[in-house]
Amino acid sequence: MSAEKIIGDWKKNIFKPLYWLEGEEDYYIDLVMNYAEHKILNESEAGFNLSVFYGKDAVWSDVVNACMRYPMFADKQVVLLKEAQQMKDIERLDAYIENPLASTIFVVSYKEKALDKRTKLYKTIKKDGEVFTSEKIRDYKMVEWVKDYIGQQQFEMNPKAIALLVEFVGNDLSRVTNEIEKITVNLGSRKTITEDDIEKYVGISKEYNAFELQNALSSKDLAKAIRIIQYYESNPKAAPIQLVLPSLYGFFSKLYSVCGMVDKSEGAIKHLFYNNPYAAKEALATLRLYGYEGVEKALLVLHEYNLKSIGINSTNVSDGSLMKEMVVKIMR
């Protein structure tokens, strides 16, 4: 069951006695917990019938006692246990979970990991409750995720702006949605987000970022690459070498994978590039320019400068100097 399905059922007043929300992706867990806390009960009901516990401070017996109470002036009560992964003796909730009170909706958030499916606690939860596992969105799916999310908010974002945001933020959905919200509240009546908005409201330079450095390497534009690195030298926090290298290594690793593919069409390779046709087209242009040997060499050079960046075979050399040497070697 998805987070949307759980919330959809709640909107229809369809409830189970227990919801166990687990996994590495906080965004969907927080989405469900927030709805449970603020929407299941109305304001007057919540004053008597909403109990919130936090795993680090919660005592299992207090949680069980809250679950065993009957609702006041309402037909149901809600008990929330947040950050349950930090709770001591959490397995002692098992006795209540085996015989839950029908008028209690018990919602547990268990972040960063998942319960062992072999445990008695997990099997008991599955018997009468609902287990939702929130998994991280894969990097290659992020462009589509952002596009869908933007559409749900009744906005549009051009492909370059999406690529820039994803490149900067990665697959942290909570951070992505926060950044998008920050942008949209400043757009006024405008409904399209551009790379200028990303630069202005997220704080990423649209000209001097890892994405543009990658483009400079892709087209072997040494002058542009050096300009970007000089910007980095003037703004050390903008893109330290340890943030730039993984991005470049990821790009050339994908090109290396394309080299081994029989079908090298845009459609066949775009899943490697966030399902972005524009990015797939640029990747094929880069591959034609570098060839197999050039891509292989780029990976070796990136590995060499990753070692140098942590002081192996290089001492007292600035990030800027290392990056300048690196791009010259890759393009040469």
Q: Are 14 and 39 in contact (CB under 8 A)?
A: no
Confidence bin at 225 (pLDDT 50/70/90):
very high
The predicted-structure confidence for 160-178, as pLDDT tens digits, reads as follows 888 888 877 878 899 899 9
- Residues of the chain above pLDDT 70, percent: 100
In this predicted model, what pLDDT tens digit does every residue of 135-162 receive, in sequence order?
A: 988 877 888 899 999 999 999 998 888 8
Residue 192, helix vs strand vs coil: strand
Q: Tokens standing for 294?
A: 């050039």
pLDDT at position 127: 83
- What confidence tens digit (pLDDT) does each residue in 270-323 have? 888 877 787 888 899 999 999 999 999 999 999 999 999 988 888 788 888 999
Dist. CA 279–CA 285, nearest whole Å: 10
Question: Which pairs from 318-326 meet CB under 8 Å and 24+ separation?
Answer: 318/233, 319/232, 319/233, 319/236, 319/240, 319/241, 320/229, 320/230, 320/232, 320/233, 322/241, 323/229, 323/232, 323/241, 323/244, 324/226, 324/229, 326/301, 326/302
Residue 327 confidence (pLDDT): 95
CA–CA distance from 141 to each of 37, 89, 215, 276 (Å)?
30, 38, 21, 10
pLDDT of residue 161: 86
Question: Which tens digit of pLDDT belongs to each residue from 229-266?
Answer: 998 888 777 778 888 898 899 999 999 999 999 999 99
What is the H or E stretch that residue 43 is in? helix 43-49
Instruction: State the pLDDT at residue 311.
Output: 87
The average pLDDT across 212-226 equals 92
pTM: 0.69
The pLDDT mean for the chain works out to 90
* pLDDT surpassing 80 at residue 203: no
In this predicted model, what pLDDT tens digit does every residue of 40-69 receive, in sequence order? 999 899 999 999 999 999 999 999 999 999
Instruction: Summarize the confidence of residues 170-198 as an average pLDDT.
Output: 90
Q: Which residues contact 295 (CB under 8 A, 6 or more apart)?
A: 252, 255, 256, 259, 287
- Tokens linked to 200: 């202005």
- Residue 79, pLDDT > 90, answer yes
Q: Give 157's strand partners.
A: 193
Q: What is the mean pLDDT of residues 14-22?
A: 95
Higher pLDDT, 180 or 277: 180
pLDDT digits (tens, 9 = 90+) for 88-99: 888 899 889 999
Domains of the chain with CATH codes: 3-134 (3.40.50.300), 139-202 (1.10.8.60), 210-331 (1.20.272.10)
